[in-house]
Amino acid sequence: MATPPHYAALSALELALLQLKEERNWAAYEALRKRDREEVFEAAVQLLRSPSARERALGADLLVQATGYDEEARLVRGARSADVLLAAIPTEPDASVLRAMGHTLGYLADARAVPVLRALKDHPDSRVRLGVASGLSQHQDAVALQTLIELSRDTDASVREEAISALSLKDEDAVDSPELREAFLDRLSDEVTDIRTDALVGLARRKDPRVREPL
């Protein structure tokens, strides 16, 4: 896809806003991906201060790009992006923005996010709880695992699916407990096929004999 020549004169913030305004403007998206990470970070910070919830959610999403897409980049830049999100979460009123923040924190995998996200696990809006499950997906400490187990029984199917998927992908040698296995067993009767499948995988990876009958 050819990038319009005038996009070169636009700032990262302008490209982000153009992408938001024209949701299928892939040229703006590609142009933004090529920008310097520091410029993208500054644009993300500005968007997170916007009165518009859509723009704040975009700011949260942009912090992934500002950090970078490899492990080294996360180690070098991830803490700074997490700082911004962790400072913003306590005063953020919009569910869609909190979901985006949770998703980005999941990518950053910063341990400081665990108690902050745990505090939102009972939020009345399922979008926030989905963000919590996504945000905790990379963590293996006891608090994160307990929260994911609780969210695997959520009333919202998307939340259950995110939580049980995260649990089923955990290394069976590092993450195992009777409570975790019970969580998988509980989901074998779930109405959603993908959730049942993830539950079966979780039990099978732990060589639990109770997986045989449903299989």
Q: Rounded distance, CA 73 to CA 68, Å?
A: 5
Residue 24: pLDDT over 90 = no
CA atoms within 13 A on the CB side of 146: 7
What does the pLDDT look like over 113-151, one tens digit per residue? 999 999 999 999 999 999 999 999 999 999 999 999 999
Residue with tokens 């924190």: 105
For residue 172, the model assigns a pLDDT of: 93
What does the pLDDT look like over 130-139, one tens digit per residue? 999 999 999 9
What does the pLDDT look like over 33-63, one tens digit per residue? 889 999 999 999 999 999 999 999 999 999 9
Backbone angles phi and psi of 33, in degrees to 5: -65, -25
Six-digit token string for 29 = 């998206």
pTM: 0.92
Six-digit token string for 176 = 């195992």
Q: Rounded distance, CA 6 to CA 3, Å?
A: 8
Top pLDDT among 213 and 57 is at: 57
For residue 1, the model assigns a pLDDT of: 55
CA 60 to each of CA 102, 105, 117: distance values in angstroms, whole numbers, following the listed order: 9, 9, 15
Q: Rounded distance, CA 2 to CA 86, Å?
A: 37
Amino acid type, 76 = V
- Nearest CA to 167 among 201, 143, 193? 201
CA atoms within 13 A on the CB side of 121: 24
Sign of torsion, CA 192 103 101 145? positive
